[in-house]
Amino acid sequence: MNTLTTRAGAPLSRLTFGTMQFGGTADATASQAMFDAARAGGINHFDTAVLYTGGASETLLGAMIKADRDSLYLATKVGYVGGASHANITSQFDMCRQHLQEDAVDLLYMHRFDDETPLEETFSTLAELQTQGLIRHIGVSNYAAWQVMKAQSVAKSLGTQIDVIQPMYSLVKRQSEVEIFPMAADQGITIVPYSPLGGGLLTGKYAKGGTGRLSTDARYQARYAQDWMHETAKQLTALGAELGVDPATLAVAWAANHPVKPLPIISARAEEQLHPSLQAEKFTMTPELYDKITALSITPPPATDRLEEA
């Protein structure tokens, strides 16, 4: 696994803080409070994207990191809309730097795969940005394992490589364990997964009648519609009550304790909501507890689907 560090050489925190809510459901004051809480909790890795909240996420985060920039690891993303062409990457990355008021970032992700643009064009552009000192590392988000391997072959032919992948991963979304995690381990790619709380399902709030994205967003409703997922959330909440630990802490700590050592992205709308996830940064997960939590969900079959090999 590649060792990613801040500019000052410090290793990355166990958790990553995602600023997707900055300037949206979290105003400037709430965003600053969460940033401060994340820093106090030991987090030095911050994730954003050019189009999050119309650019407000990058703008707010950029102002917050100034005083301690070399001690922080800054990641952003381009290409969710408009594709992965040279023109779109450079145009959107210029927007990123303008929002952030930063000349360079530590990690630039392609936000999703673009099958309309040759990989040679995409990764030669990223390689150029690297050569120019504008980005330190290259990442991909929402890529399938086969897409990563095609892209990695191209990247290596250009003298660079994919360093980070950002897939969805949680106790109720474990498909990444089948192909993406083994591929990343083989290629030395760091895994920075998003949605370790399953869209809030694993906090237990929906079983108590709470509201959130699963009750207001049709995409999230469809994503977490299976009955077993809700049953897993109930069982995790019960286990948390038994242990005296918030289920959100257990969910995030479980995601971070997979043998490939992912660096899960946590986020929230307010500081109070963030704290249970933050507790996972220093939570000690025993092998016995990890196995107990794992058993609450459905383990996906191996890639060959030969169940006797699982």
Question: Is-catalytic flag, 52?
Answer: yes
- Cβ atoms < 10 Å from Cβ of 175: 13
CB 170 within 8 A of CB 198: yes
The Cα-based distances of 110 to 41, 75, 104, 165 in angstroms read 28, 11, 16, 10
Out of 52, 73, 169, 194, pick the active-site residue: 52
Furthest-apart CA atoms within the chain: distance in Å: 54
What is the distance between the alpha carbons of residues 150 and 162, in angstroms, rounded to a whole number?
Answer: 11
Q: 247: closest CA among 286, 208, 203, 194?
A: 203
Residues 6+ apart with CB under 8 A from 161: 138, 152, 155, 187
How many CA atoms are closer than 13 Å to the CA of 301, on its beta-carbon side? 7
Query: Tokens in use for 242?
Result: 């038994």
Query: Tokens in use for 206?
Result: 């929906």
Query: Tokens in use for 190?
Result: 């760091």
Q: 51: closest CA among 76, 32, 26?
A: 76
CB 92 within 8 A of CB 81: no
Name residue, tokens 């030669």: 124
Residues 6+ apart with CB under 8 A from 285: 253, 254, 256, 257
Please give the backbone phi and psi of residue 85, each rounded to the nearest 5 degrees, phi first: -75, 165
CB 171 within 8 A of CB 236: yes
Residues catalogued as catalytic: 52
